Amino acid sequence: SQQGEEDPQALSIQEGENATMNCSYKTSINNLQWYRQNSGRGLVHLILIRSNEREKHSGRLRVTLDTSKKSSSLLITASRAADTASYFCATRDYGNNRLAFGKGNQVVVIP
Amino acid sequence: DTAVSQTPKYLVTQMGNDKSIKCEQNLGHDTMYWYKQDSKKFLKIMFSYNNKELIINETVPNRFSPKSPDKAHLNLHINSLELGDSAVYFCASSQGSGGNNQPQHFGDGTRLSIL
């Protein structure tokens, strides 16, 4: 099964700055999802974007999807210390009932 | 009011032992999953059940055997534990058949360490 690949792998920013992460994938997808994982916890779903959508917002999160480039980006605006976590993208192919997760981005927000 | 709960949270045991991990969800979801997350945080699907029926069975050693007594529970039994089994195991659930646009809800993981 194909995997999303996030880029960059680790990001350290000051509180208040924006954080941007990218994800690339290889197949035709039905949807792409972003999840957050705090240290020692399970993954928490953040946002889902369908293959026919180009941009989606949820609070301070903005996700874009470019199916021609097979890539997505997650932007966290006005970051907070509580945003410190690992962020994963996951893709679901058409006709497939499984999510393929990428390797994850570690984001550290310095207060 | 935990949505997806796994027990135990930590499991430290000797190589060769048999152990079980339990998972329960109170979200009324139809589909449950087991994932393995390695030391590099790579997350890989192992199994998925929909209404007690196995729908995903990845290339996993047959020492791993899932059991779903009802749609709210999915347990994982591991026989003859090996060093390479050390990882964090996550249970998750989602609404519907698993092949739709529903997000997955994860438990907090079981940290398995093999001595």
The Cα–Cα gap between A19 and B16 comes to 45
A97·B48 Cβ contact <8 A: yes
pLDDT single digits (tens) A44-96: 999 999 999 999 999 999 999 999 999 999 999 999 999 999 999 999 887 77
- pLDDT of residue A99 exceeding 70, the answer is yes
Q: Sign of the C-alpha dihedral, residues B9, B13, B16, B19? A: negative
Name the E strands within A1-111.
5-7, 10-14, 19-24, 29-37, 43-50, 55-58, 61-66, 71-76, 85-93, 99-101, 105-110
| C-alpha A99, offset from chain centre | 13
The Cα–Cα gap between A30 and A53 comes to 11
**CB of B88 within 8 Å of any CB in chain A?**
no
Residues of A in CB contact (< 8 Å) with B are: 1, 30-31, 33, 37, 40-45, 48, 50, 86, 88, 92, 95-101, 103-104
Beta-carbon contacts of residue B38 (< 8 Å; ≥ 6 apart): B44, B87
Q: What does the pLDDT read at residue A2?
A: 34
Confidence of residue A1 (pLDDT cuts 50, 70, 90): very low
Q: Regarding predicted confidence, which is higher, B109 or A3?
A: B109
Q: State mean pLDDT over A10-24.
A: 94
Q: What does the pLDDT read at residue B77?
A: 97
Q: Contact B69/B78 with Cβ under 8 angstroms? A: no
Among B44, B56, B106, whose Cβ lies nearest the Cβ of A42? B106
Mean pLDDT (chain A) is: 90
Q: Contact B66/B79 with Cβ under 8 angstroms? A: no
